[in-house]
Amino acid sequence: MSDYDSDSDSDIPDSLYSTPTYLAYIDEPADSSARPIDSRLGGLPLWPSSFPPPNSLATCPYCQAPYSLLAQVNAEIDSNYDRILYLFICKSASCRRKINSVKCIRAIINRTKSASQTEPAKPQNQSIQLGSYLFDSKDSSNPFAGASQPFKISSDVVETKEYSSVAGSNEPIDQPQAPDWPTDPRPFPGFFLVVEKERLSKNPVPADHKIDLSKIKIEDDDDNDPINESSRGQIESLDNSDKAFRNFADRVAQNPDQVIRYNRGGDPLIYSDRDALTKPLASGSFPPCPLCKSPRQFELQLMPQAIQELEFDLPLDEILNGMDWGSIYVATCSKDCVFAKDDSQKVWYTEEWVGVQWEEQITKRM
C-alpha cells in the first residue's frame, strides 16, 4: 500500500494527502463569550458546572502556586455527554521538568435527560470548534516525562463504569457547590482554536534542521560567558544524531502554525529519540488507567508553536527563561471510564497521563 490514501475532501490538491490527525490553530482571542465546550489555547479554565475539580489538583505540589491553563479541548466521543480535556502547567522555573509540573484533567458531563436524547448541541460560535468538528463525523476513532497521579477516590465509591453505559439514564442533578478553583493571577492569553485535517505533501522537501543557537538554553553559572566551541559542537550535532527530531521537523514544517495534534488511538509525533519517553510513545505502552485498569491510548499533543503564542507578549527576559518543552503528550483511558456512585451523577473529573519531552539542555565544558 502507498504512504497515502485518497482523501474524501474534493478540494484537496493532487499534490497533497490527508492523514488521520487533526491540527488545531489559534483563531481569534478568546473573550467573555467563551463556553466550556469551546476549545481554547491559554486563558482561564471554564468548568462545565458549579462543581470544579478538587482544589488539591489546582496548585503545584512543589511551589503551591496555581497551575496555568495551557489548553482546554472539547474532545466529545459520545452524543450523550460532553467530554473536555484540561492541560495545565506550573510556570515556576524551579518546578520545571519535575513530575506533576504538567497535569491533564478529563471532565465528563452528563448533559441529557434521557437515553433517547442523543443529538449533540450545535455550537453557536461561527468559528469551528475542535470537538464538534472532529466528532460530527461517523468515524470517532479520528477526532481531534513523568506520569501524573489519579484522583483519590473516597472509600464509599465502589464501582467504575464506562461512561457510555450510564450517560443519559437519569435526569442530571445539581451537585453541591465546591470551593472556588484558585485563580491563576497571571494566566496565559487565551485564543479560540480552529481545526483542519493534517495535509502533507506527497513529495516533501526536507526541512532545514540547522539549529538556531540563540534559542538554545545553555546551563552555566556565568550568564555573560559566550558559547564556547565545545558547547557549540554539542548543539550542532543534535540534529544529526536525533532521527526522531529530524522527522518531527520535516513533518511540522509542512504545517508550521499547528499548536495541537489530535488523533485519539493514533500515533504521536515524537519530538526526540534521546529520552526515556521515546519507547512508550513509539509503542503505545502507557501506564494503564488506574481506575478501571484498561489500557490508555494516545489522544493529543501540544506543539512547540504554542509556546510562541502563549508567551508572545512577555518581556524578553521572561521569554528567555520561559517554557522549554518540545512536546507535551496526553494519553487517556481507552474506555473513558468514570467512578460512579449512581447513574444520576452530573459531572466527573479524572486525572490522565501526561508525558513531556523537554528541549535538550547543553552543559558547557570549560
pLDDT in tens, 78-91: 878 899 999 999 99
Whether 11 is covered by a domain: the verdict is: no
- The SS3 call for residue 363 is strand
Q: How many domains does the chain have?
A: 1
Whether residue 226 is contained in a domain is answered as: yes
pLDDT digits (tens, 9 = 90+) for 176-195: 444 578 889 999 999 999 99
Residue 337 belongs to domain spanning: 17-363
> b vs e for 210-237, b when ≥16 Cβ sit within 10 Å of the residue's Cβ?
ebeeeebebeeeeeeeebeeebeebbee
Q: In 3-state terms, what secondary structure has residue 356?
A: strand
Half-sphere exposure for 323 (CA within 13 Å, toward CB): 27
Non-local (6+) Cβ contacts of 110 within 8 A are: 80, 81, 166, 167, 168, 172, 345, 346, 347
Instruction: Indicate whether 121 pLDDT > 90.
Output: no
Residue 7 inside a domain? The answer is no
Q: Please, how many CA atoms are within 13 Å of residue 207, restricted to the half-sphere of its CB?
A: 19
Which is it for strands 81-89 and 68-74: parallel, antiparallel or unpaired? antiparallel
pLDDT for position 231: 45
Q: What is the pLDDT of residue 166?
A: 42
Residue 64 lies in a domain: yes
Structure pTM? 0.75
Would residue 4 count as lying in a domain? no
8 falls within a domain = no
**Quick check: 235 pLDDT over 50?**
no
pLDDT at residue 9 in the model: 58
pLDDT of residue 49: 78
Q: What is the mean pLDDT of residues 115-122?
A: 33
C-alpha distance from residue 135 to each of 55, 140, 340, 344, 347 (Å): 31, 6, 25, 25, 20
Query: Does residue 192 form part of some domain?
Result: yes
What was the pLDDT predicted at 321?
A: 83
Residue % of the chain over a pLDDT of 70: 66
| DSSP 8-state class, residue 149 | P
Report for 145-159, 294-308, 344-358: range of highest mean pLDDT: 294-308
The amino acid at 208 = D
Q: Which among 211, 251, 171, 261 has a CA at the least distance from the CA of 362?
A: 211
**2 lies in a domain?**
no
